[in-house]
Amino acid sequence: MNRRCFLLNVASLSAIAAAPWLVSCTRSRPLVVGIHPWIGYETLHIAREFKWLPAEVQFHEGKAASDSLAALHAGEIDAACLTLDETLLARATGVPLTIALVFDVSAGADVVLARPAIRNLAGLAGKRLGVELNALGSIILSKVLAAAKLSESDLTLVNLPVDRQLAAWHKNEVDAVITYEPNATFLLREGAQRLFDSRQMPDTIFDVLAVRTDRIRSFRATLEALVLGHFHGLRHLMINREDAIYRIASSQGITPNEVQQALAGVVLPSLAANREYLAIRDGRLIQAAKTMSTLMVQHGLMKQEDTLDGLLTPVFLPHDEG
């Protein structure tokens, strides 16, 4: 696993950390953000613990991204922590979303894990593969099959939500799974071995803050405070790493050493990197969205490609103070 790369400009963020966030005192309804367990979202939990988030921000805690997607469709939440493909899928099904922040880029944290007897991807032939057949799961599956030179008919697919994978593993209902942290750590403890991970899919899996476009104007100040809280949490992770790792371990239910290993599988973009992702019209994020949109249509996950209009905005990022 690659050593984790922090794209963090400490001098710039030191100035940001000293800046107060401004939140309207007249708002009665909170900004509700959907969130589920994932190593890349832990900056928000750190920010909440240190009270770097305003009281107007409330978390809608779920077990998986599907909980946030359902809440977005029901109009119960205003924003959610999602992957890029999940954001595109929600847009395709009628939920107007705009990406306001890139939390992380997966670089090994999304994995294919198998029982010890399966030594390589070709060994998946004839085996039961547990995968959540959502957008991302389907795209990782296609990459795995291509690398293994297999077709779907060569193995048995088990549609398995991430929160049920560990139980299915214990019951011997699957031979391998496509999963991510912290599930990956739990399965590695059980003797699973890594066959494939997102290092082989660079600039594909982005975790983002997706905001309902139709609610941006109502929550602008609170969204600015939320994004700034993330950068406070990110700076704490960089400057006070040991403390942050213990906090993340408690949140994720894994050991500090396992947190270190999980963090090695993600790149956490700095403020400067976020500006590039969100402001450059032909940058890597919009290019990744174009590619992902095409793949999702090819896999039958969307009827037509996303126009990408209004997909990105840098307006909630803190001003450059350094």
Q: Does the pTM exceed 0.75?
A: yes
Confidence class for position 281, pLDDT limits 50, 70, 90: confident
* Rounded Cα–Cα distance for residues 230 and 219 (Å): 17
Confidence class for position 20, pLDDT limits 50, 70, 90: very low
Task: Write down the mean pLDDT value for the chain.
Answer: 89
* Rounded Cα–Cα distance for residues 249 and 242 (Å): 11
Using an 8 Å Cβ cutoff, are 82 and 65 in contact? yes
Is the per-residue pLDDT at 3 higher than 90? no
Q: How high is the pLDDT of residue 137?
A: 87
Say if domain 6-105+205-298 classifies as CATH 3.40.50.2300: no
Is the per-residue pLDDT at 236 higher than 50? yes
Per-residue model confidence as pLDDT tens digits over 155-202: 999 999 888 999 999 999 999 999 988 899 999 999 999 999 999 998
Q: Which of 43-52, 194-203, 274-283 bottoms out in mean pLDDT, i.e. has the lowest? A: 274-283
> Could you state, in order of their start, the residue ranges of all structural domains in the chain?
6-105+205-298, 110-200
Is the per-residue pLDDT at 41 higher than 50? yes
Q: How high is the pLDDT of residue 58?
A: 98
Q: Which residue from 259, 186, 274, 194 is spatially nearest to 228, judged by alpha carbons?
A: 274
Query: Is there a common fold for 6-105+205-298 and 110-200?
Result: yes
> Residues 106-136, buried b or exposed e (16+ Cβ, 10 A)?
bbbbbbbbbbeebeebebbeebbbbbbbbbb
Q: Phi and psi dihedrals of 82, rounded to 5?
A: -135, 165
Peptide bond into 182 cis (omega under 30): yes
Give the Cβ contact number of residue 292 at 10 Å.
26
Confidence class for position 28, pLDDT limits 50, 70, 90: low
Tokens of 199: 């290092």
Identify the CATH number of the domain defined by range 110-200. 3.40.190.10
Q: How high is the pLDDT of residue 320?
A: 53
Per-residue model confidence as pLDDT tens digits over 313-322: 999 999 853 3
**Pick the residue with more confidence: 146 or 10?**
146
User: For residue 182, which amino acid is it?
Assistant: P
